[in-house]
Amino acid sequence: MSFLQSYTDLVDFSQKSLLLSACAIAFNPTAWNIVARREYRTRFLTKFFGSGQAACYFLAITIFSLGLVRDFLYERALRAQPSHPLLEGTIPTFAGYALLACGNILVISSTWQLGITGTFLGDYCGILMDDIVTGFPFNITNAPMYYGSTMSFLGTALLYGKPAGILITAEVLLVYLIAIQYENPFTAGIYAKREQERAKAGGKKVEAKKEL
C-alpha cells in the first residue's frame, strides 16, 4: 500500500462534500467579521434597519443560519467518509458524547452570560456591555463559544468514527484561532474608545463645576 493510498483510507479527498464543508467552516467567521467591521465603521446595517438593535438581530439570525448550514454540510461530509476501527467502540463513543456535552455547555453558558446582543457582535453595532463578563465560562477561557464549538465538531467526528472529522476539526480550531487574533484586539479597541470618551466627558463636567 502506497503512502497516498494509506491516507485515502482515512480521508476520501475526492468527495465534494468534504470541500464544501471545509469552505463553509472558513467562510462563516470570515464573512461575519468583514460585515461586522463594515457595520462598525459605516453603520450601513443600522441605517438600513433603523437601529443598532435591529442590525444586531439581523446579524444574529444570519450568523445562526450560516451555522446551521455549516453543521448540515459537516454532517453530510462525514457520512460520505470512511470510518476507522480505532474510532469505533465504547471509548470513542463516550468521549464523543462527553465532548459534545462540554462543548454545548460552553456555548450555551456563554450565550446566557452575554445575551443575544453580546453574543452576536452587538458591540460592532454600538450596543456595548456595561462591564466585562468574568463569570463562567469566561473564567476558563476568553473564547468559550469558539472552543465549545470546536469540541462539538470533534465529538461528532468521534461519534461517526470518521478520521475526516478530526481533520475538519483541526481546520475549525485553526480558523477560530485566527479569528480570535483579529476579533479580540478590535473589540478591546471599541471598549477602550468608550472609556476615553467617558473620561473626556467626566473631565468636562469637572471643569464646568469649577466654573460655577
Positions at the binding site for S-adenosyl-L-methionine? 101-103, 183-184
Cα separation of 212 and 204, whole Å?
13
Q: Give yes or no for a contact between 156 and 165, defined as CB atoms under 8 angstroms apart.
A: yes
Residue positions counted in the chain: 212
C-alpha closest to that of 10 among 154, 166, 186, 122:
166
Distances (CA, A) of 31 to 62, 113, 134, 154, 196: 10, 24, 28, 23, 30
Distances (CA, A) of 70 to 22, 24, 27: 9, 6, 9
Cα separation of 56 and 121, whole Å?
7
Cβ neighbours of 157 (radius 10 Å): 24
Cβ neighbours of 68 (radius 10 Å): 9
Q: Give yes or no for a contact between 66 and 31, defined as CB atoms under 8 angstroms apart.
A: yes
Q: Which residues are annotated as a binding site?
A: 101-103, 183-184
